[in-house]
Amino acid sequence: MDIMFAALVLGVMGLAFGLVLTATSKIFAVPSDPRRDAVRDVLPGANCGGCGYPGCDGCADAIAAGKAPADACPVCSAEAKAKIAEIMGLEAPDASNRKIARVLCQGDCESAKQKFEYQGIQDCNAACTVGDGYKSCKFACLGLGTCAKACPFDAIHIDPVKKLPVVDEEKCAACGKCVAACPKHVLELASVKDEVALLCRNTDKLKAVMDVCKVGCIGCQKCAKACKFEAITMVDNLPVIDYDKCRGCRMCAEACPTGAIKALKPRQVAEIDQNGCIGCTICAKNCKFGAIEGSLKQPHKVNAACTGCGVCATKCPKKVITMKVTTQPRDPKAAVEAAPVKPAEAPKA
């Protein structure tokens, strides 16, 4: 009987304490922001940490509090980011300007010299403990796949021939785990809209670079001199591209003697609608490459010197200039005077 009585008392006490706790939680409950809960429902639940917050709950809290943008989650699709923006009463983010991982090294097996043959553990961190890696360039990618193993989205694979990582831009969620995993720091998160990029991190001077790699940046500054938009400055023997100024004219890549600066997009050229052009000469006057020719009040045309910078298209008052992809190489010899100097001649009677 004593045992039964004790069990009954404990049961009653447990029930009483449960009721007290329930009532207390209801009375002192802090109301949740419904927007936070709605945002959390949209987030994927991957908890990858790519947003910089502790999981999807932390990301939802930050977005609801206004401490993070609507597109803070790199894993979300464009539709999900637009939905979050709608919940928060914000403009939908520009889906075309998303981030991707970029490999900042082209030193493959043929281009970069090797100090020795590495036969150890197939991991970049392990290889770094042996003479700072098997490649002569201390900045070079070792290509052993540490970044690929770190990627939770299967967006990176190692090229079997070049032994360098290749990023699948469609799969990449810009979570940054590959960037954090790389011991050589040859991965970065960059905009998918970038037209050109420097694919080298070697800060050594000319001869030191050429001794270890055929495609390394030698700090010659030819790219900076070739850029007519002042978008390139030299820092620690490497060109730094200001993408706010860059027009994607590719002149830096064209001028680079080693190919360290690479064009990332297909070449484009301007095309003028001959029926809509009024011959105002504004496009020709603004072309820095002498790629537009024509007389005043006569339809203009684009020659083979066009770099595809698109300045003419933005300046055209009639909006009759469009940009199109081409496979034809640029011919700098086709350039003419920047502005037309002669008006059209009157037709003879």
CATH number (1.20.120.430, 3.30.428.10, 3.30.70.20, 3.60.110.10) of 268-334 reads 3.30.70.20
Which segment of 2-6, 142-146, 209-213 scores lowest on mean pLDDT? 2-6
**What pLDDT does 30 receive?**
67
**What pLDDT does 122 receive?**
95
The angle at the Cα of 27, spanning 21 to 30, to the nearest 5 degrees, equals 105
Indicate whether 59 pLDDT > 50. Answer: yes
Helical ranges in 151-286 per DSSP H: 177-181, 206-210, 222-226, 251-255, 282-286
Q: What is the dihedral of CA 272, 275, 279, 284, to 10 degrees?
A: 0
Helix H or strand E encompassing 211: none
Which segment of 9-13, 206-210, 308-312 scores lowest on mean pLDDT? 9-13
Q: Which fold has domain 39-90?
A: 3-methyladenine DNA Glycosylase II; Chain A, domain 3 (1.10.15)
Angle, in degrees to the nearest 10, between helices 34-42 and 78-88: 180
Same fold, 39-90 and 268-334: no
The angle at the Cα of 219, spanning 218 to 225, to the nearest 5 degrees, equals 125
**What pLDDT does 50 receive?**
78
pLDDT digits (tens, 9 = 90+) for 94-124: 777 889 999 999 999 999 999 999 999 999 9
Q: Which fold has domain 200-265?
A: Alpha-Beta Plaits (3.30.70)
Mean pLDDT of 296-310: 95
Mean pLDDT of 277-283: 95
Which segment of 48-52, 84-88, 190-194, 315-319 scores lowest on mean pLDDT? 48-52
- Record the pTM: 0.78
**What pLDDT does 270 receive?**
97
Domain boundaries of the chain, sorted by first residue:
39-90, 103-183, 200-265, 268-334
Indicate whether 345 pLDDT > 60. Answer: no
3-state helix, strand, coil in the chain (%, to 5): 30, 15, 55
CATH architecture, domain 103-183: 2-Layer Sandwich (3.30)
With a pLDDT cut of 90, the percent of the chain lying above it is: 67
Find out whether 257 and 223 touch, Cβ atoms under 8 Å.
no
Q: How confident is the model at residue 338 (pLDDT cuts 50, 70, 90)?
A: low
pLDDT digits (tens, 9 = 90+) for 170-209: 899 888 999 999 999 999 999 999 999 999 999 999 999 9
